[in-house]
Amino acid sequence: MARPQLSKPDAARRRFIVVHLALCMAFAVAMLGTVEALKRLEDPAARWLVTAVPIGVLMAWAWAFAGFVRTSDEMIQQLQLRAVAISGAAIILLMTAWGTLERLMPVPEFPLFLAGPAFAVVYGLVLPWLNARP
């Protein structure tokens, strides 16, 4: 049998990058498509169904990410889980603080659908920072 060119965790990471990019594009297309479709659709059931499409893509991404973490080696798992924990905690804290302000002060409402992208931005900063730490 031929020697593999990549270790199993490296191959899993490469696969995840492809799936991740595909699902990000699918999410963008689904969001745009849903917005357009909702302008024309009037049946409530159809509107719910169309709106569920981008949410389904989001769930598929979460499933793919969990699979990637599961197939990674011990260091990558530790790194990913720490990055997710720190980013998740940061977003929960920020959103709770902003929500408190919304209730008490005249501040603009934070669009909740941006919580995911906000998490992705924080995660994108935290992961290399954790990786570079001695």
What single letter denotes the amino acid at residue 19?
V
Q: Does 29 help bind another protein (rule: CB under 8 A)?
A: no
102 contributes a contact to another protein by CB under 8 A: no
- Name the residue among 26, 13, 134, 6 with its Cα closest to residue 80: 13
Given the complex with another protein, which of 6 and 85 has the nearer CB atom?
A: 6
Residue 109 contacts residue 61 (beta carbons within 8 Å): no
The helix/strand count (H/E) of the chain reads as 4, 0
Nearer to another protein (CB atom), residue 76 or residue 86: 76
Burial class (CB in 10 A: 0-12, 13-18, 19+), 68: buried
Among positions 32, 38, 75, 93, the unique one binding another protein when judged by CB under 8 A: 75
Least distance CB 125 / another protein (angstroms):
18
By CB under 8 A, tell whether 85 contacts another protein.
Answer: no
Binding site for another protein (CB under 8 A): 3-10, 13, 72-76, 131, 133-134
